[in-house]
Each structure stands twice: as C-alpha cells, then as structure tokens.
Amino acid sequence: MAMTHDIAGAMDSVRERVGRACERAGRDATAVQLIAVSKGQSEAAIRAAYEAGMRVFGENYAQELATKAWALGDLPDLHWRFIGHLQRNKVKIIEGARATVDTVDSVRLAQAISVRATARAMDVDVLIQVNVGGEAQKSGCTPDGVPRLVEAVRALPGVTLRGLMTVAPHLEDVEATRPFFASLRTLAEANGLSELSMGMTHDLEQAVAEGATMIRIGTAIFGPRSPATR
C-alpha cells in the first residue's frame, strides 16, 4: 500500500464518528474499543497505525497473522484479535501470536483452543460468533444455538468467554441493520455476557447505537483493501 494514505488522519475521523455516535446514544466514548482490521494491509501500514496510537489489530487469516505477529514482535503492547474463520488445525498459530479468538462458533473449535491453551498454561479470551442474519455464506452459530455453546465454552479450562461477535448483513439501507445488532445485545444480556463486537466501516453508527463495546474497522482506517483480500 502506498504510504500516501493518511492513517493517523483516518483514525481521527473514525474516532470522531464513534464520538458522535456515542453522544447520540448517551454513551461514554471510552466504552467503545476500536479494533483496526489489518487483513491485506502491509506491515508498514500497521506500524503507522501503531505510531498513531492503535494497539489492537484484527486479522482474518491464520498464516497472515503468524507472519505479521513475527514481523511486528518488536512493538510492545500490540494485541492481536483473530476475527476470521478458524480451522481447528490452525489453532497453534493463535498461541504463537497470543491472539484472542473472536470467532468461536462450535464446541469442537472451543475444545481445540482449550487443549492447546491448557498444554501451554495459557488462558485465551474468546468471543462466540453469531450469524444473526441467518445468512448461508456466513459463519457463526445460530442465535438458537448460543445458550448451549455458551455453557460448553464456560466449562472449558484455558478459555475465558468474554462476549459475542457478529457481522451484520450488508444492507443498502444501513439503518435496517439495527435490529440485527439489537438481537446480539439481547442474546448477550440473556447469557450474562458483557462484550459485544459488532459494527464495521459502513455500519459502526448503528452498532454503537445498539451497544457495541468493540467495533472492527478496516477500510475507514487503512483505505480500500486489494481485491484479492476479502
């Protein structure tokens, strides 16, 4: 990526959007954590965001995360969140990067994380990904399956369940995403979970209005991704 893109300026703009959305919702802006989604972005771009104060980065692909975690290992306090679909045979990469896993959607995946974590005397923070829109192409457990999965994850050693995560359907009318975010909040409340990772570049205002505690922002910080990256 050309470094002509002003990452620090873009981060300021995102923070302003979050600030305004929080003000409208009567929420404290410090209650919304910004995750910079760096899939498909260069190490230089991540360093620029880090220089501008960003400490939490989201990656979607296990191998890309492993490469970047190694290359950027000199940056103190940098925290990785894995936000893509995780295959059970790639769980070891999470361990190396000391990443949290925001996309647990099955008992078997949670068990695989638990086995690795306990073998290394680690504790891994996780979120359960919920497919709130019931979309065939999206991963995530069904809303109906949440209570059972919550119970199973809570019973596992080496894994701490912090909350729920979702990617809302991409709708032309962005206000129409609000009921999906509201349904994630209701599910979290019903299951005694406090963290809600929801909202991306195009729908962060709606997610914040519905109680997001983490938003995952790629394009609005780094600019457009190369077409090869989903």
Residues that bind ligand PLP (CB under 6 A): 37, 39, 60, 83, 167, 200-201, 216-220
Q: How far is the CB of 121 from ligand PLP (least distance, A)?
A: 29
Determine which helix (DSSP H) or strand (DSSP E) holds 160, and give its type and residue range. strand 159-165
Total length of the chain: 230
Angle between helices 107-119 and 146-154 (to 10 degrees): 10
Q: Give the residue closest to ligand PLP by C-beta.
A: 218
Query: 85 vs 154, which CB is nearer to ligand PLP?
Result: 85
Please classify residue 152 by burial: count the beta carbons closer than 10 Å to its beta carbon, then call 0-12 exposed, 13-18 middle and 19+ buried: middle
Contacts of 135 (CB under 8 A, 6+ apart): 169
Nearest approach, Cβ of 133 to ligand PLP (angstroms)? 13
Residue closer to ligand PLP by CB (options 211, 218) is 218
CB of 14 to ligand PLP, least distance (A): 9
Q: How far is the CB of 222 from ligand PLP (least distance, A)?
A: 8
Minimum distance, C-beta of residue 167 to ligand PLP, in the bound complex (Å): 5
Of 5, 85, 77, 81, the C-alpha closest to 41 is 5
Q: Which helix (H) or strand (E) holds 58?
A: strand 56-59
Structure tokens at 164: 């729920």
Both tokens of 79, joined, read 């925290």
10, 41 Cβ separation under 8 angstroms: no
CB 174 within 8 A of CB 214: no
Minimum separation from the CB atom of position 120 to ligand PLP (A): 26
